[in-house]
Each structure stands twice: as structure tokens, then as C-alpha cells.
Amino acid sequence: MNRLREPRRTVEIGCWLRLQLITLTDTVLEQTNRHVGDLWGRARQRVENRALNELQRYRVGMDAVCVALADSDLPPDAFRTAVAEAAAPFVGAPPRDSKAHAIRTEMAGEPGRLRALMRRVTGLDLSIGEQHPLRIAMSALKTAYRTGDPTIPAAAVQALPRAARRPVERAPSPSDRLSAFEVAAALLLKRSLRNGQASAPHSLKHRAVADQLMPRSMWAEQRGRIRRANGWPSSLDAYLRRFERPLALRLEMLDEAVEAGEIGIERDRFKVPRYRPEPVDPDVDRTRDALFAAIGEVQLPDILVATDARARFSWLALGRQPANERELLSLYAGLLALGTEKTAAAMARMVDGVSTDQIELAMRQIEEAGQLRAASDAVVVDLLAQPVADLWGSGVLASADMMSLDATRHLWTARIEPRRRTPAVGTYTHVLDQWAIIYDQPIVLNRRQAGAAIQCVLQQEVAQLQRLAVDSHGFTHFAMAVAKLLGFDLCPRLTDIGGRKLYLPNGIPVSDRLEPMVERVTIGRAAQSGWDDLLKLVASLKAGYGSASTIIDRHGSAARGMPVYECGTVLGKTLRTLFLLDYLVKPDFQREVHRTLNQGESVHPLQRALMAGRIEAKHGRTSQEMTAISGALTLLTNAVMAWNAEQMQRIVTEGGPALYPDAHLARIAPVAYKHINMNGVMRFRIEKSHDLVRPRARRA
């Protein structure tokens, strides 16, 4: 057995230890963030329940007053007595604080769990600015825990933000003061981790933002060349002037549409006509039925073997050509186990010729190789090579959406899915308008997805995207600005679109009827000063210095006040206004956005048919395992669509355009799966494609 020799052994051990340190640091900080959020959510629930009880008492009291008013025979003294009894619960009650203040006070009332958390947090190696309030707060807490003295220095309290300072100052005793201070420090830590003001040197997701961008010296040296190459001006004002004429033209079109009654205005809100999908064409349904009737029923293993024979995705997933049929069979079984969330033992019972140990080994090889993205791209190329794919779309438009996957509640990345109220994790997929899934990544539910949406466009290598349709979760003003500077447009399907304001710079004329829906954008000093850093951020993303998901997450609402955030938000508001005007006055553009998003969601039933089980803790404990599960599901989904497309093209070629018109084929998707048997005993007929495995060596 070969053994590692020095110095390779020492280098590999050091790299492995470094990787474990980075992984564990990210896990600890993510769990800390989640734990603080859970404590806040539970306290908020108690505050809201108390408010509902108070409202109920108020209603009962008002009912009693109404009854007394309705009784005309009631003597004045009895009326005053009845009113006094109804108002008794509210007489002398202290003035109500804000909801946020009440939640902070509620959290401080039960300090046990939060204190245990903060004791451990104070021991973390975090990089925080010298004068940052969090650094002062953490130092004060560390001293209090070490000495056992609950007294918090006045300087540490004064360093807190004003809203966090009030509950601490109002605390009646030193112990209550310490509890309130812990709440303030915990919420400040959560905010600082989100905006990057608190970072960890041994981390990927929580590194300092500056460490994820190109060095400042390099930016100073290459700034001029990068600006000229991308056509970026030297100031934010100059860039915004590019949009003055398009905004003015679209405002005129909107004013004409309102005057013609195509769009209404009521109570300073737009009344937008409800989006109506294209009517169902019976001829298209008949063509679809005839097409898939000609395709006939098929087994899932036959689809995988046939697609692999054309795309060679098994070679890419394994990192080399399989040595023999057994290894290829184990690879197929491992992909199915990951992508359908069946256990290795269950797959061994379904696939003859491979054992549980062989399937588990194949699953580990797939996870460690990390080549599922390349394998899936090879299948996508095979799908797009079919002439029928040109009828489905242009290949420059895609949609991004998340699909939840059922999971055990024991996964720390699992969250409660809002609709079904069950634990789940998410896979965020980007579907080309030609139906192929060009990128996927695991994602945590109930979080903003704007960074993940942009990450796709930067990482995928299949298409040159010009527009990306997203829902409201995949959109922020800052992300819209970054996307535009990167060279593509975010096209969000916004909620409450009628109540959205039109953000316009000063100087753009607006008619009187549109003025109530307009909010003028003031370009402050912070926004002006952040332009250079915003360009540096975008150039760093283009060059691959950092992850768009991480960097854009650091520039969410928690970064309010930072020059880069203010600059990106001002620009994003202007771009969102331009998009909204196009959406309102161009029905074809509105239909394109909805059609693309609906197309992406139409892939979900096929994915759910493949992923029939739920993700257990044995497979989804690490980000690497979750990436493998999401990638395997995407690969299987693309393989089914590629096979369907190939069969559709074969039948269309044989039948001719008379039987299968292009207008009908353009509306027939390759996502059908009812003709595919995905269960039972699986037999992979590899003998039909001998060139998938390495040829056997001839005997002498």
C-alpha cells in the first residue's frame, strides 16, 4: 500500500487542518447568527401574543362602554361606574414603547440561553474595528464574565446605538443592566456579521469584505483601464445622466397610457391590469399528446445510459473514464442515490450487481471530485444542440428561482418552509429560456437570494445572459445596480407593484397626474463618495476575487449608511424605476418576464418527481454534501430533458413540419416525466455503449 512521504504528508495534513478550521468557523458563526435570530423570534412572538391579549381586553372594555351608552335608563352614577370598571385595566398603565424596544426587554427578561451563547462568543477570534461599538461591548462582557461583576462601564453603554442604549439605561439593577447589555451586544453582533464590520480571518463566508476584493494598490493601478474597458464614467452623476432620456420617454408613454385608461390611478397607486397567460390552444395539446405517444414509455436507467453515451457526463463526474462496467454502474447508482435522496442500501436493492459499500464509495467520490457542474454542463450542451431548442428561446434570457427540498429537522441548515410548514432546504436553480438548468446551488430558506442570482451569471459557462428574471426574494436595489454594472439586467416580478414608487433624480419632468407616485432621489455625499468603491467591487466580482453571494449579502439593509451601499442603492432605485416603467407600458416585456419565471417553475415538478424522498442528516451535514445533492438532482433533471429533446427532434424529423409545426413545438416543453418509470428494479444496459468504459487490456 502506498504511503504519503514527507514533505507531502505534512503539507496535506496542514491543508486539511486549515480547511477544517475554515469550515468550523463558518459553521459556528452561522449557528450563532441563527441562534440570536431564534431568540429574537421567540421574544417577538411573546410580545405579539401579549399585544393581542391587550387588544382583546380593550375590545371587552369598549363593548361594556357601548352597552352602557345604549342603556338610556342607566343613571349617571351607574354609567360612570360602568365606564370606570371598563377602563380600570388601562388606568395608570405605563406608556407603550416601540415593538423593537418591547422585544429587547422580553429577551433580557430570560437571559439564560443568551448568556450561555455570549460567553462562548466572547472567546471567538473576530476582527472588529478598534472604536466599533461591538468591540467595546465584547470587551465589557468578557470582563464581566471573568470577574463575575455584573456592572457594565458607562462608556461601554454610551458606545451602543441609541435604540439599543435605552433598555440598558432603564434597567433597575446591575444584573438587569447586564442582561439588557447582552441583548444589545448580541443584536449588534448579528448586524455586524451581516454587513461585514465583524469578520473572522479563518473563514470563507465571514472574511472581511476588503479581503474578498482586489487589493487597493491593484485597483489604483488598473482603475483607468478597467473604467475605459467597461465604459464606466468617473462619477455617479455622470452615469445617472445616461438614464435621464430613457426615463423621460417612458414617463411620457406612461402618462399616455394613463390618459387612455390602459393603466389606472387610485389613491396614489397604480391599478395595473391583471396578467393573463396565453390561452390554451387545443391544437398544441393534440400535438403534444401525439409527440409523447410516439416517444412511448421508457425506463430511467435507459435515459441515463443514452444521454451519457452522447454527453459523457460520467467521465466528467468521476474525473476520468470508468475502469469497468461495475464502476460505471456504481457511479450511476451513486448519482441516483444523491439526486433522489435514496439511501445506498435502497439503491443496492434496486440495482443488481452493486453492493451498498460500492454505492457509498461512489457517492463519496462524486462529492470529493466536485465535478457535477461540468458534468451537468455537458448534458446542457447536448440538449441545446438539438434544433428544437432554438424554437424555445433565444438563449440570452434565464430565470432564477428556489425550490424547497424536504429535509429532516436535525439538519442545522434546515428551515421551516412557509407554505407546507415542514423542515426543508433549498436548491436555487437558473433555468435558461431553452429549458436547460445552467446553474444550481444549495441555499438556506427565508433569506434574500439576490446574491445567489448574480452568482449564477458569473459562474455559469453555457450562455451569454442579457436578462435574468427573478422574484421579489431575488431582488434588492443594490443587487440591481451591481447586475447592471456587470452587464446584464435583473428583471424582478415585484409584489404589490401598484404601490411601488417611481424614484427619479431631480430635473426629470413629470406630469401632475404622475407626481403623487414619484419620489425624488437625493444623491448625498455618501453616495457620491461610494462610486469608486462600487466600481472596485464590481470589477472584483468580474475578476473572481470573491463570491457574489457573500459580498452582496454583506451589502444588505444592515449596511445602511456605508458609502458603497448608499451609492448602489441610489443607482438601483433609478434602474428599478426604469424597469417598472418598461413593465407598465410594454405588455410584451411584461409577458416575457412572467413567461420566463413560469418556465423556470415548470421544471420543479420534474425535479420533485426525481427527488421523491427527504434529505436526511447522514447526507446533508456539510455544504459539500448539500452541493452534491443539489448538483446530482440538476444533472438528472437535465439528463431527462436532454433525452426528451433528442426524442422529440427524432420524431419531428421523421414526421415532418406538417405533423409537428414549429409554432406548436415552441410551446411543448421537454419536462414531461409521466412516461418515465423511475421506480422498481433498475437495469442499466451498458453493453449498448461499450465505449463508455475503458477497453479491457488484451491478454498476451
Q: Do 596 and 658 belong to one domain?
A: no
Q: Which of 178, 179, 183, 174 is nearest to 44 (CA)?
A: 183
Q: Looking at the domain assignment, is residue 221 inside a domain? A: no
Q: Do 522 and 661 belong to one domain?
A: no
Q: Which residues contact 568 (CB under 8 A, 6 or more apart)?
A: 477, 478, 481, 482, 530, 534, 555
**Domain final residue, candidates 581, 602, 623:** 602
**Spatial distance between the Cα atoms of 602 and 605, rounded to a whole number of angstroms:** 6
**Spatial distance between the Cα atoms of 97 and 278, rounded to a whole number of angstroms:** 51
Q: Looking at the domain assignment, is residue 3 inside a domain? A: no
Bridge partners for 298 per DSSP: 676
Contact 317, 375 (CB under 8 A): yes
Q: Do 44 and 113 belong to one domain?
A: yes
Give strand ranges (E) for 534-634.
none
Q: Which of 626, 673, 685, 686 is nearest to 647 (CA)?
A: 673
Contact 545, 538 (CB under 8 A): no
C-alpha cell at 86: 371598563
Q: Looking at the domain assignment, is residue 229 inside a domain? A: no
Backbone angles phi, psi at 398, to 5 degrees: -145, 165
Contact 586, 256 (CB under 8 A): no
DSSP for residue 615? B
Contact 26, 204 (CB under 8 A): yes
Q: Do 597 and 616 belong to one domain?
A: no
Q: Do 89 and 187 belong to one domain?
A: yes
pTM for this one?
A: 0.88
Residue 483 is inside which H or E element, if any?
helix 477-486
> Strand 415-416 to strand 423-432: parallel, antiparallel, or no bridges (unpaired)?
antiparallel
DSSP for residue 698? P
Q: Do 535 and 495 belong to one domain?
A: yes
pLDDT value at position 275?
A: 74
Burial (Cβ within 10 Å: 0-12, 13-18, ≥19) of residue 36: buried
Q: How many Å from the N-terminal Cα to the C-terminal Cα in the chain? A: 27
Q: Do 470 and 583 belong to one domain?
A: yes
Q: How far is CA 534 from CA 128, 227, 471, in A?
A: 22, 12, 24
**Domain final residue, candidates 174, 199, 224:** 199
Amino acid at position 631, single letter = G
Amino acid at position 402, single letter = M
pLDDT value at position 698?
A: 36
Q: Do 556 and 630 belong to one domain?
A: no
Q: Looking at the domain assignment, is residue 514 inside a domain? A: yes
Contact 352, 686 (CB under 8 A): no
With H, G, I as helix, E, B as strand and everything else as coil, classify residue 275: coil
CA angle 409, 412, 416 (to 5 degrees): 50
Residue 339 is inside which H or E element, if any?
helix 325-340
Instruction: Say how many C-beta atoms besides its own lie within 10 A of residue 175's C-beta.
Output: 12
Q: Looking at the domain assignment, is residue 43 inside a domain? A: yes
With H, G, I as helix, E, B as strand and everything else as coil, classify residue 455: helix
Amino acid at position 528, single letter = Q
Contact 636, 336 (CB under 8 A): yes
Q: Do 593 and 621 belong to one domain?
A: no
**Domain final residue, candidates 585, 602, 619:** 602
Backbone angles phi, psi at 573, to 5 degrees: -65, -40
Over the stretch 84-136, which tens digit does the pLDDT of each residue have? 888 877 776 666 778 888 888 888 888 889 999 999 988 888 899 888 999 99
**For the chain, what is the domain count?**
3
Contact 290, 299 (CB under 8 A): no
Q: Looking at the domain assignment, is residue 226 inside a domain? A: no
Domain hosting residue 315, numbered range: 282-380+611-692
DSSP labels, 631-688: HHHHHHHHHHHHHHHHHHHHHHHHH-TTTS-HHHHTT--TT--TTEE-SS-B---GGG
Q: Do 421 and 316 belong to one domain?
A: no
Instruction: Say how many C-beta atoms besides its own lie within 10 A of residue 442's C-beta.
Output: 23
Half-sphere exposure in the Cβ direction for 97 (13 Å, CA): 13
Bridge partners for 467 per DSSP: 397, 489
Q: Which of 594, 603, 597 is nearest to 633 (CA)?
A: 603
Instruction: Say how many C-beta atoms besides its own lie within 10 A of residue 657's C-beta.
Output: 10
Q: Looking at the domain assignment, is residue 473 inside a domain? A: yes
The stretches in the chain having pLDDT less than 50 are: 1, 697-700
The b/e string for 364-374 (b: 16+ C-beta within 10 A; e otherwise) is: ebbbebebbbb
Q: Do 598 and 619 belong to one domain?
A: no
In the numeric block, the cell 461512489 is attached to 362
Q: Looking at the domain assignment, is residue 158 inside a domain? A: yes
Q: Do 443 and 580 belong to one domain?
A: yes
C-alpha cell at 58: 380593550
With H, G, I as helix, E, B as strand and everything else as coil, classify residue 498: helix
